[in-house]
Amino acid sequence: MTTPLESPLDQLRRTGHLSRIFIDGEWTTPAGAESVPVVCPSTGETLAELPLGDASDVDRAVQAARRAFTSWSGTSPDERAVYLARLHALMLARAEIFAQALTTEMGAPIAYARGAHVPLAAEHLRVARDNLVDYPFRRQRGATAVVREAIGVCALITPWNWPIYQITAKVGPALAAGCTVVLKPSELSPLSALLFAQVVEAAGLPAGVFNLVNGTGPEVGERLAAHDQVDMVSITGSTRAGVLVAQAAAPTVKRVAQELGGKSPNVVLPDADLQRAVSLGVAAAFRNMGQSCSAPTRMIVPRALLPAVEELAIAAVEAMVVGDPFSDGTTHGPLANRAQFERVQTMIGAGIEEGAKLLTGGLDRPEGFTRGWFARPTIFSDVRTDMKIAREEIFGPVLSILPYDTVEEAVEIANDTVYGLGAHVQGTDLDAVRAVAAQIRSGQVHMNYPAWDPQAPFGGYKQSGNGREYGVEGMEEYLEIKSILGYYA
């Protein structure tokens, strides 16, 4: 597919929306005096300047959402479902410009943007619509009615690594529940968020139901979290960012839902199909250039099979094509930004210094690359559980292979982390796989690389956060519970 005549940047410039935020149904100039560069991760060059909002913009957006809440929460589920259906259809109709935006702003290979980022994001809107239509907002329990009502104005804080996917994962269920929202997308990947605001405008949502304020975490994110007219905050980001948001929200005792960091294990049992287990495990760890909080970056394998695992893992990396993300043949593009590139280099250096066995990859850019945030897909073997690369979230294409001697030890290694977001288990004996899955302390466990399920609740144990996204449970995060005694007397 060829690049459209008008790029996402050109379209946003033409409409004037690159320099504006969306409040109360209108595009408006932010009051903030600061801006940040929109940087092309493939070249490191600045493409544009993005004006940022400030606390006064947050106040305007929150007040707009507050005014809209009474009428929006009073609409019927069928009415809200119509709007969600429009959003879904418009996203699909504009899928190519969303894909181009993602490749431009965070370096996702265009084929991956088209095949994963955009269609999966649209699915969150469809699922929200479908769950809404059949959801029992009032249940009878004896003479009491147990009612679930929209919690109120919700602040949604989304990350740079899956920009549009995380936006729809929050906006869809929040709107379905009857909440109004103020979105703060990452200022590092703002293009797809601005395009989504255009979709909201085109869908005809009532003014104030959806608002967008670009800004930094300290200026806009913390103001949203602390705002006394915000009833709930949902954040996807690092554990550090989640802690700061929770601290800012604490004085107003609002609900805080957090989807945070991860260091997910991939337990390969002795009877697993080794070729499939390893090749798909490397692919899963390196999807989105490793910039996924639930990526299984710790492959835990039987010690006796370690030489065979290493050979298969190297072959899997050699099949990858790191290159221009706008090329259809590229499987892996650059990291999304300079800070992440430097973080990955630091962690690869730590793995080397601590004595892990470097199988492939290593420091610096791949051969032939002199600019941009391209990193070498890297695999370490013979990794110990006390090494930094086994304990800290790297958020890049770095996989650690840890050997075990017994299945009990494999489970112990899998759980030896402060995180608990995702996990994988591979094996032929399903009962044995299920037994291991039951012992792993994480919000999701994938057995033998199943298909993505948008109805499967997603969220973390321990320092990976609290609350759930996706499916019915994702919508219920935005609902409050009321008991009306005597309702059925």
| Position 3 pLDDT exceeds 80 | no
Average pLDDT over residues 269-291: 98
Task: Check if the beta carbon of residue 337 is closer than 8 Å to that of residue 188.
Answer: yes
Domain boundaries, given as residue ranges, for the chain:
8-260+465-484, 265-453
Per-residue model confidence (pLDDT) at position 250:
97
State the chain's mean pLDDT as an integer: 97
What pLDDT is attached to residue 127? 98
Find the Cα–Cα–Cα–Cα dihedral 95, 396, 289, 409, rounded to 10°: -110
The pair of three-digit structure tokens given for residue 483, joined into one six-digit string: 């008991």
pLDDT band with cut points at 50, 70 and 90 for residue 2: very low
- How much is the average pLDDT of 378-388? 98
Residues annotated catalytic, as ranges: 259, 293
Question: SS3 of 414, please?
Answer: helix
Mean pLDDT, to the nearest integer, of 193-210?
98
Q: How confident is the model at residue 489 (pLDDT cuts 50, 70, 90)?
A: confident
| In the chain, % of residues over pLDDT 90 | 98
Region 94-107: what's the mean pLDDT?
97
Note the pLDDT tens digit of each residue in 444-476.
999 999 999 999 999 999 999 999 999 999 999
pLDDT tens for 403-416 read: 999 999 999 999 99
Q: How many CB atoms lie within 10 A of CB 256?
A: 21
The answer to whether residue 15 scores a pLDDT higher than 50 is yes
Specify the pLDDT at position 6.
Answer: 87
Question: Per DSSP, what are the bridge partners of residue 469?
Answer: 458
**CATH for 265-453?**
3.40.309.10
Whole-number Cα distances in Å, 352 to 18, 342, 348: 43, 16, 6
Asked if pLDDT for residue 1 goes beyond 50, the answer is no
Instruction: Calculate mean pLDDT across residues 321-332.
Output: 96
Mean pLDDT of 246-256: 98
Mean pLDDT, residues 134-163 = 98
Per-residue pLDDT tens over the stretch 40-73: 999 999 999 999 999 999 999 999 999 999 999 9
Taking CA atoms, 126 is separated from 90, 359, 454, 476, in Å, by 12, 42, 10, 16
Say what the pLDDT of residue 402 is.
98
User: Domain spanning 8-260+465-484 has what CATH number?
Assistant: 3.40.605.10
pLDDT digits (tens, 9 = 90+) for 237-248: 999 999 999 999
pLDDT of residue 5: 62
What does the alpha-carbon distance between residue 421 and residue 231 come to, in Å, rounded to a whole number?
Answer: 25
Q: Where are the alpha helices (DSSP H) in 117-178?
A: 118-134, 163-177
Q: pTM for the full model? A: 0.97
Task: Of 3-7, 21-25, 69-73, 188-192, give the lowest mean pLDDT range.
Answer: 3-7
Which residue type, as a one-letter code, is found at position 334? P
